[in-house]
């Protein structure tokens, strides 16, 4: 058992870690504050900003932009589409590698990981040209495919580490009781694997939502998601801090919430199971 800690020591620790937390979070906090200010208040000194009145007008302004919803729905479609498509392909693969490991399973897994090492810029030109020639440039289906491919190794790996933790004896028992492969997957494996699949899904939605290399380079007007919408504020006209803040808050809020729920899975997913 850990030793008793004096209340004073604990109070000091608390003060220190809260300071750290607040400093790290401050930029996001400030973004949220500015999003509820008028444009002219948003560029004032920090104290004056805090004292000034509150308003929702920036959110209204961003929502009124006829195209905001388009960017948002593109983000949703691309993030969800690439994740579900990835799961569809990865679940069988991870299942097979976890429960019917062959001689080369380990090599295949490592090779899949190695594809993640390919720097995106190394294949940017061919992908761009292939997309241009096949009409996939600036389409959601094209981006769904690209993001599915770049996250596929992570999905397979993450599912694999979860599936490996399911005791194989249970599957054998089901098999001995005469369950077919389909039934085995549906009634035995799926319920046990569901938590792992859910966290894999969550992590990949986060990664796809925030992906900003392919989404910026392969889209123009039609299929651009929120990453590109926010990037359009990099060449602003007039006062735009409050509107940029409101747009940013709306772009990051859903993922922030998801991210907080998936802290633990994030560790496992992004370290390919090396740290749990």
Partner 1 sequence: MATQHSRASARLMISPSVLLLLGWMLIPLCMTVYFSFLRYDLLSPGTEAFTGWDNYYYFLTDPSFNDAITNTLSLLVGVLLVTIIGGIGFALLLNLPAWGQGIVRVLVIAPFFVMPTVSGLLWKNMFMNPVNGVFAHITLAFGGQPYDFLGQAPWESIILMVSWQWLPFATLILLTALQSLDQEQLEAAEMDGASWGSRFWHIVLPHISRAITVVILIQTIFLLSIFAEILVTTNGGPGTASTNLTYLIYVQSLLQYDVGVGSAGGVIAIILANIVAIFLMRMVGKNLDK
Question: Least CB distance from residue 207 to partner 1, whole Å?
Answer: 10
Contact 174, 191 (CB under 8 A): no
Tell me the HSE value of 77 on the side-chain side, using a 13 A CA sphere: 18
Contact 105, 97 (CB under 8 A): yes
Nearer to partner 1, 18 or 187 (CB): 18
One symbol per residue from 91 to 110: x for binding partner 1 (CB under 8 A), - otherwise; what is it? Answer: -xx-xxx-xx-x---x-xxx
Interface pick for partner 1 out of 129, 170, 194, 198 (rule CB under 8 A): 129
Q: Six-digit token pair at 14? A: 């608390």
Nearer to partner 1, 45 or 221 (CB): 45
263 exposed, middle or buried (CB, 10 Å; 0-12, 13-18, 19+)? exposed
CB neighbour list of residue 88: distance below 8 Å, 6 or more residues apart: none
Interface pick for partner 1 out of 32, 76, 124, 179 (rule CB under 8 A): 124
Query: With CB under 8 A, what is the number of residues at the site for partner 1?
Result: 98
Task: Give, in order, the Cα–Cα distances in Å from 24 to each of 45, 85, 125.
Answer: 20, 35, 37
Report CA dihedral (96, 102, 106, 107) to the nearest 10 degrees: -110
- Residue 200 in the binding site for partner 1 (CB under 8 A): no
- Residue 178 in the binding site for partner 1 (CB under 8 A): no
241-260 residues in contact with partner 1 (CB under 8 A) are 241, 244-245, 248, 251-252, 255-256, 258-260
Phi, psi of 136 (to 5 degrees): -90, -10
Contact 226, 72 (CB under 8 A): yes
Name which of 142, 120, 145, 123 is nearest 133 in CA terms.
142
Question: Least CB distance from residue 1 to partner 1, whole Å?
Answer: 9
Question: Least CB distance from residue 31 to partner 1, whole Å?
Answer: 6
One symbol per residue from 49 to 88: x for binding partner 1 (CB under 8 A), - otherwise; what is it? Answer: ----------------------------------------
Question: Least CB distance from residue 166 to partner 1, whole Å?
Answer: 16
- Residue 264 in the binding site for partner 1 (CB under 8 A): yes
Interface pick for partner 1 out of 78, 127, 143, 223 (rule CB under 8 A): 127
Interface pick for partner 1 out of 130, 141, 173, 198 (rule CB under 8 A): 130
């Amino acid at each position: 058992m850990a030793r008793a800690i004096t209340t004073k020591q604990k109070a000091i620790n608390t003060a220190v870690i809260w300071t750290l937390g607040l400093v790290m979070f401050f930029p996001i906090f400030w973004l949220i504050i500015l999003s509820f200010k008028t444009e002219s208040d948003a560029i004032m000194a920090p104290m004056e900003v805090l004292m000034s009145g509150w308003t929702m007008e920036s959110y209204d302004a961003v929502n009124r932009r006829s195209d905001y919803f388009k960017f948002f729905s593109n983000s949703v479609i691309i993030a969800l589409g690439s994740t579900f498509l990835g799961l569809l392909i990865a679940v069988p693969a991870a299942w097979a590698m976890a429960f019917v490991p062959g001689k080369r399973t380990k090599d295949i897994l490592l090779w899949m990981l190695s594809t993640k090492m390919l720097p995106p810029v190394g294949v940017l030109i061919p992908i761009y040209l292939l997309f241009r020639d096949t009409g996939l440039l600036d389409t959601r289906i094209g981006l769904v495919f690209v993001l599915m491919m770049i996250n596929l190794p992570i999905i397979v790996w993450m599912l694999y580490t979860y599936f490996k933790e399911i005791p194989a004896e249970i599957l054998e028992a089901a098999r001995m009781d005469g369950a077919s492969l389909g039934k085995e997957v549906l009634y035995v494996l799926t319920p046990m694997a569901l938590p792992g699949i859910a966290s894999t899904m969550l992590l990949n939605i986060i990664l796809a939502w925030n992906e900003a290399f392919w989404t910026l380079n392969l889209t123009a007007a039609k299929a651009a998601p929120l990453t590109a919408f926010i990037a359009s504020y990099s060449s602003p006209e007039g006062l735009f801090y409050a509107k940029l803040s409101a747009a940013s808050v709306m772009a990051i809020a859903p993922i922030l919430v998801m991210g907080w729920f998936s802290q633990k899975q994030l560790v496992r997913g992004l370290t390919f199971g090396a740290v749990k």
